[in-house]
Each structure stands twice: as C-alpha cells, then as structure tokens.
Structure 1
Amino acid sequence: MTDLVFVLNGPNLNLLGSREPRLYGTQTLDDIRGMMEQRAKALKLQLDVRQSNHEGVMVDWVQEAMAKASAVVINAGAYAHSSIAIRDAVAALPIPVIEVHLTNIYAREGFRRTSLLGQVARGSIVGLGALGYLLALDAAAHLCKGAATQAKGQIQ
C-alpha cells in the first residue's frame, strides 16, 4: 500500500480565514495545508489535499481513495451531518478514516451534534481547530504503520 493520505475538505472550508473567524479561526485552508505538509514530511507521508463544495465530488474522492490511499482525513463540513451518500462511501473503505471538525460539534446547534461520518470513521477529532488536522494525520500514520506491521505478521 502507498504512503499517500487523502485530505478531503467539504463545503465552505475554502472560506476559512474569513468565514466566522470567532468560530473557525483566522487560518486559511492553505495555512492548514502548509502545516500538514510539514507534518507529513516528518511522518514520511505524501498528501493529496482537496476541497469541494459538491457532495458527489466528495463521494468520488472517497471512492478514489480506496485504490490510491492508505488513509483518509476528512472534514466534510456540513455534509458530515447530512450526507448519507458520503457516509456510505466512507463505510465502504477498507482503510482508516479520521474525521475532523474545527469546532466542537457537540457544543453547537442541535443539528450539528450528530455526525453521520463519525458513525463509520475510525475516529473523530473535534473542537481543536487546525491542530485537529495534525492530530488526524498523526493518527493516520500510526494506523497505517499498524496495518503494515500486521501484514508482515508482526504483533503491535
């Protein structure tokens, strides 16, 4: 398997830095990408970072990850709470999926407190801002290393 991690970002995340900075902070998605690229280099991982406002595009990317990636870090934005299609695509993946939310979805409006993706992801990181992406990348690296160790017949 490759050392490639897909980082998939959903609707409105292209507006980070200017969209409701009191909630989402002032870092842009490009800032977060830069932080992740530095961490990925240290972890000896490659990243494929993408953003779309379109549900079907995100489904296509999740399915593409099945053949190309070792793990997925996903911040599906509002789709995490509403997209059964993305949820089902994530559920079909045989690789680790780590869900990220910049804000604490459990301290927000009621409709944000349920994550359909969180039901099928390996884990979720919420409420830690951009740090959540770095922690998700660390988790993905750890989980991929564990999978490689198991494939060689070694015990973790």
Structure 2
Amino acid sequence: MEIESGKTAELEPTVTLARLYEKQGFLNKALEIYRELIALEPERDDLRQALKGLEKRLGENTGDSSKLRAAKILSELELWKEAISKRKKMLHPGPEKEKKILVIYGNCRNSGTGQEQSLFAHVSFEEIEKEIRATARELGMKADTFQSGDEEKLAEQIRDAGDSYDVLIIDPGAYTYTSVLIRDALLKVSAPVIEVHVSNINRQGAFGKKPLITGAVTAQLAGFGKETYTMAVHAAANMSGEETRLQCK
C-alpha cells in the first residue's frame, strides 16, 4: 500500500497509518500521527516509545539535535495541555441552559367549576403566581405566567409562546369543554403541555361534557386544589422537549 503525501487529513490517525508513513519515508507525517494518537491516549507507553524512536531518526537525518529537543519539549507540553483541557471539561462541564416554563390560566374565578370558584374566592392569582415562581426557582427554572378570561387572548399567547418555552402549563377553566381555538393552538405547540385543574374534572357529573382541550396536551393533573399548579411545575422539571405529544384524532 502506498500513501500520497498531503492526504493525512482524509485518513483517521492509527498506528498502522503511522507505520506506513514511516516505512515509506514520510517521517514528519508519521510523527504527526503519533502525536495525535498520544493526545487521544496519553497513557499508552508504546506510542511514546514509537514517537521517541521516530524523533531520534529525524534528529540523525537532520543533524540538528538542539532543534529536535526543543520540538520534543513543545510536543510534550502540547500533549499535557490537551490532557488537562479534557480533564477540566470532564470535571467542570459548562452550565446547562435554564429551563423556561409558561403557566397560562383562564378566568377560573368566574367561569370554572364550583370548587375552582370557591378556591379563587379566597386565594388571589398573585399568591398562586408567587408560589409558582418560587417553586420554579427551587428547581432551577424560570416561570412566566399569563392570565386572561378572553379566549382569543389565551390562544394568541399559546401561539406566541412558540419555541421560547420548554414546557407549557395551562388551566383553561371552562374553555376546557368549549374552545376549539385554544385546542388548535395547543396542537401546534412543539413543547410538552400539562393541563391542570384544581378540581377533579374527570369525576362523573363534573360538567357532563367531553373535554376538548385534553386531547391536545401531553399530560393532565387535576383535583389537588391550588397545589395542582406547583405539582405541575415539579412535573415540568422532569419533562423535556422530546416528550411525546398526544394528538387529537
């Protein structure tokens, strides 16, 4: 097998390739290959011995031992530098991207179930938002919130969320049963969506209607009162953008 000079970049560095270069007289090319291999596997003594022997041959050919020694020192320093850099990356990986979630809820105070209306008669949205944000911070996330009783504004907010958020949490209130607009907006969201309700809407007789929103979300939490929101935030911390979306048929 014969190798053309200048083709090193196209070939994967291996001991066999280095020996072929050395055999055919391309000593500098062989030297480069050995140095690359040692950078990848600095613990291999056989590679270092091969490199040392090759450097000796090059020194004899050039007759310039001082330059060879300098080149050897620089080579060793580069190898140590690469090994230290790899070790640092393993021990101290870069910071992970902060996960962002968006919590959306409709006007549950006036249009939700009896239990929801009772809850929001005693608990303000400001209190709930404070708990949501505090829980998100504890889990290393950032939470934004949006509240409106307007169906079009809710759907618009969902569409505007786009790819800006990792997970969406929504309490659509009474729109759970009536809003095709919100359902269609949710189906176009690529991020996982968690539907939440402070009351158990699945209990027989809760509304007597089939939910429209449920078929367009990834998961659902219901029936835990105001804690439903913080439970959803905990669930969001364990979800990723690769979660499978349930598609409404």
TM-score tier, shorter chain, comes to 0.7 to 0.9
Unaligned runs of 5+ in 2: 1-96, 244-249
Unaligned runs of 5+ in 1: 149-156
CA distance in 1, matches of 2:126, 2:219: 24
CA distance in 1, matches of 2:237, 2:167: 8
What is the CA distance between 1:68 and its match in structure 2?
Answer: 1.3
SS of structure 2 residue aligned to 1:106? coil
What is the CA distance between 1:24 and its match in structure 2?
Answer: 5.3
Which residue of the other structure, out of 58, 70, 79, is the alignment partner of 2:175? 79
Q: What is the CA deviation profile of residues 9-30 of structure 1, one whole-angstrom value per residue up to 9, with x for unaligned ones?
A: 11244899xx742x65722211
Matches within 5 A, 1:60-71: 60-71=156-167
Indicate the residue corresponding to 1:134 in structure 2. 230
Q: Which has the larger strand fraction?
A: 1
What is the CA distance between 1:67 and its match in structure 2?
Answer: 2.8
CA distance in 2, matches of 1:24, 1:129: 10
CA distance in 2, matches of 1:38, 1:100: 18
TM-score by length of 1: 0.81
Aligned sequence identity (%): 27
CA distance in 1, matches of 2:121, 2:131: 15
TM-score by length of 2: 0.52
2:187 is the counterpart of 1:91: yes
**Higher Rg of the two aligned structures:** 2
The 3 A distance-change label for structure 1 pair 140 and 103 is: same
Indicate the residue corresponding to 2:93 in structure 1. none
User: Does the CA-based 8 Å contact 2:169-2:193 persist in structure 1?
Assistant: yes
The 3 A distance-change label for structure 1 pair 106 and 25 is: farther
CA distance in 1, matches of 2:125, 2:158: 19
Indicate the residue corresponding to 2:131 in structure 1. 35
Q: Which has the larger helix fraction?
A: 2
User: Does the CA-based 8 Å contact 2:169-2:232 persist in structure 1?
Assistant: yes
CA distance in 2, matches of 1:2, 1:57: 27
